[in-house]
Structure 1
Amino acid sequence: MRSKDRISYFYDGDVGNVYFGPNHPMKPHRLCMTHHLVLSYDLHKKMEIYRPHKAYPVELAQFHSVDYVEFLQRINLDTQHLFPEEMAKFKLGEDCPVFDDMFEFCQIYAGGTIDAARRLNNQLCDIAINWAGGLHHAKKCEASGFCYINDLVLGILELLKYHARVLYIDIDVHHGDGVEEAFYFTDRVMTVSFHKYGNLFFPGSGDVKEIGEREGKFYAINIPLKDGIDDTSFTRLFKTIISKVVETYQPGVIVLQCGADSLAGDRLGCFNLSIDGHAECVKFVKKFGLPLLVTGGGGYTKENVARCWTVETGVLLDTELPNEIPDNEYIKYFAPECSLRIPTGHIENFNSKSYLGTIKMQVLENLRCIQHAPSVQMQEVPPDFYIPDFDEDEKNPDERIDQHTQDKHIQRDDE
């Protein structure tokens, strides 16, 4: 175990100022609330705080299609009515509305996850946190479930430059479908998602039978759960499965998506987890001592989201936080009791012992089909695709980027 983890934390104040529109459940304002809570507990003094770079369109196109990225960049509130075909093609509209500064919002949260991955790759930190990231539903050519750009896929592609195997774990109440789909055919990324499944619950995927295909067969793991799962059943199942996964797969780095909509009382969720139960998963993953990239995700009761991610920042820093919330700019949101812990909900737990037992058996059975961690022939590491801000005057006009260098920045189709 490392003596003291070095933690990099990414935050840009602009990310919390965007507004998805009235009645939309996604409130980026929760990120400002989280950050101020982190500051009020003095956690910023124990880690390095960075403002992420805004991801360049060419970086976003490492996963997303160029025409999709260009459309996101071009579209705005005033012009969206002029592009009905593209709006439909790229699935923009009700769930994923166009709003002011939408593309910049995507650049910031994606930039945070990419920067986090690069700091881990260069061993500049042991744990990197980007609560603004974790938008796991976005697909290569379309928006989905309030997600436009899939920062997790971009971060994992970055980590794959240095690590033979990446483990992705998702505890959002919704299935991590965008990340699973991106790596469904490869054994270099194992995706493990714990989520609500059934009754037409969004996104409708994530059955235990979905296990990956071709080279990726058995490298996608789904734990479909029913309403009302509580701390005890969730954490027991989580620890059993994740310890077996780490032992079998032997990842070089872990990406953990901490969607807070799996908490009791979430506006869109249906689980019964307390903040301590949710944080217990983070604590458990940290114990493996592997490089760790932690992101946010869903979470629609914003004061609880802020509480949860603050507690989890404390967990990653090995810091117990007092239950009484210190005074801060958003203290009125936590009134009247102004406490960090929340009571668990009263939804009935429909996950019987036998149901959870069956799921666990199936998952462990699938893991047995993996003989051992796949050995990957690591190629030469491609350079970080990072375009620095340079001064036009200092640039040598006679220098051209040669074709070979350009080619190095292009993702192979089968990767």
Structure 2
Amino acid sequence: MSSKVAYIKDDNLTEICSNIPNVGDRGKLTHRLVEAYGLFKFMQVFPVKPASREDLITFHSQSYVDFLIEADEWSDYENREEDQEEYGLGYDCPLFTKVYKFASLVAGGSLTGAQLLVDGDADIAINWCGGWHHAQRDEAKGFCYVNDIVIAIQKLREKFDRVLYIDIDAHHGDGVENAFSSTSKVMTVSFHNYGLGFFPGSGAVNDVGFGAGRYYSVNVPLKDGVTDDQFSWLFTRVMDVVTNTFHCDAVVLQCGADCLTGDPVGTFNLTPHGMGACVKKVLTWKLPTLFLGGGGYNLTNTAKCWTFLTSIIVGKTLSSDIPDHTDFLRYGPDFDLEISAGLRKNSNTFSELNTIVDNITANLSNLP
């Protein structure tokens, strides 16, 4: 029996996401490429139900949310710098017109997907405009103004007792890990670059959570240049250990495409096939699953990647030739869905990766 797949697509959400630094119109690019390949025929498309203030404060502090509501009406941001700094707004998270509307729509997109899973109206939900994993309880961080992931997981927990969160973005999923670091009901697993000066600088293998959540935070720190073969092998090894220990009822997979080769902020050699192997692994569990976007700052590569992952989710094989559509010229000069593996020096050895698996296995052996 095939899975019921829901795809979150909303013009208001994609339009307002273009206000985020370095994100541009990648949401529109992705939706149009998914459409050009005819994949919407195999999914049900849902618009976003905006998140309410009450939805946002299931994770974020009331003072932070109220500040965003107030800032929504500002026209002069420069004379309010002190107010902004308290909440991490500025530099990589500058204020912009209708920032609260943005937060409401971003959180609403992932909440909509989670609600469909909770209600049984979908087995799988996709929101490529979600996945903002750095936002903290009371501050914006790393282009992330609201943590839609945490809010969606809170919604999933209304029905599903134990939720597994997996993050394959190039950056550590610190905001999500911090939110659940003291609970045994949500296990967070983050695969990420962990190197000197690489944002956010957290996520060592021995960062395992606290109190009742000790050992329910799993971190897989990687060096520059990891390849598809290494990444998919490591993902399988780690997730086999995780799922043998933590028996979850639902899954959230954040697919940040900044782990791809050619990303202006990423340092890996991955192609969509490396990420696709992770998606295929998760699909074998046949659990209610929410797929989210995240980072990804080479916009056309990100659109290619998320379209390819969508095809895996619906079980369709795509031609490597980009179909003719509105954005066709953006994919020149090769007009090819494929992305060649990167040539960055690989600083990861299989011996080191084995050690990471051994450390994670030892950590998880402490769980009941």
Q: Could you tell me whether the CA contact under 8 Å between 1:12 and 1:108 is conserved in 2?
A: no
1:6 maps to 4
2:225 maps to 228
2:361 maps to 364
Deviation at 1:43, TM superposition (A): 0.6
Match of 1:260 among 257, 261, 271: 257
Match of 1:317 among 308, 314, 317: 314
1:241 partner SS:
helix
Task: Give the Cα–Cα distance (whole angstroms) in 1 for the partners of residues 69 and 324 of structure 2.
Answer: 39
1:139 partner SS:
coil
Deviation at 1:227, TM superposition (A): 0.2
TM score, norm. by length of structure 1: 0.86
2:192 maps to 195
Q: How big is each residue's C-alpha offset from its partner over 1:184-206, in whole Å with a ceiling of 9 and x where there is no partner?
A: 00000000000000212100100
Q: Could you tell me whether the CA contact under 8 Å between 2:75 and 2:97 is conserved in 1?
A: no
1:136 maps to 133
Q: Could you tell me whether the CA contact under 8 Å between 2:23 and 2:299 is conserved in 1?
A: no
Task: Give the Cα–Cα distance (whole angstroms) in 1 for the partners of residues 45 and 19 of structure 2.
Answer: 26
Q: Does 1:279 align with 2:279?
A: no
2:49 partner SS:
coil
Deviation at 1:102, TM superposition (A): 2.4
Percentage of matched positions with identical amino acids? 42
Deviation at 1:333, TM superposition (A): 1.0
Larger deviation, residues 95-104 vs 119-128: 95-104
Q: Could you tell me whether the CA contact under 8 Å between 1:166 and 1:254 is conserved in 2?
A: yes
1:154 partner SS:
helix
Q: Could you tell me whether the CA contact under 8 Å between 1:133 and 1:295 is conserved in 2?
A: yes
Task: Give the Cα–Cα distance (whole angstroms) in 2 for the partners of residues 314 and 340 of structure 1.
Answer: 12
Task: Give the Cα–Cα distance (whole angstroms) in 2 for the partners of residues 306 and 84 of structure 1.
Answer: 35
1:293 partner SS:
strand
2:19 maps to 20
One-letter code of the match for 1:279? G
2:317 partner SS:
coil
Task: Give the Cα–Cα distance (whole angstroms) in 2 for the partners of residues 20 and 95 of structure 1.
Answer: 12
TM score, norm. by length of structure 2: 0.97
1:332 maps to 329
Alignment of 1:68-217 (within 5 A): 68-76=64-72, 78-217=75-214
Deviation at 1:128, TM superposition (A): 0.5
Deviation at 1:97, TM superposition (A): 0.9
One-letter code of the match for 1:45? K
Q: Does 1:42 align with 2:38?
A: yes
2:28 partner SS:
helix
Alignment of 1:260-409 (within 5 A): 260-371=257-368
RMSD (CA atoms): 1.2
1:246 maps to 243
Task: Give the Cα–Cα distance (whole angstroms) in 1 for the partners of residues 139 and 156 of structure 2.
Answer: 23
Deviation at 1:82, TM superposition (A): 3.5
One-letter code of the match for 2:65? V
Q: How big is each residue's C-alpha offset from its partner over 1:235-276, in whole Å with a ceiling of 9 and x where there is no partner?
A: 000001112211211100000000000001101100110111
Deviation at 1:84, TM superposition (A): 2.3
- In structure 2, the gaps of 5 or more residues are none
Q: Does 1:51 align with 2:47?
A: yes
One-letter code of the match for 2:183? T
Select the structure of larger CA radius of gyration: 1
Deviation at 1:332, TM superposition (A): 1.1
Q: Could you tell me whether the CA contact under 8 Å between 2:4 and 2:124 is conserved in 1?
A: yes
Q: Could you tell me whether the CA contact under 8 Å between 1:52 and 1:112 is conserved in 2?
A: yes
Task: Give the Cα–Cα distance (whole angstroms) in 2 for the partners of residues 58 and 48 of structure 1.
Answer: 27
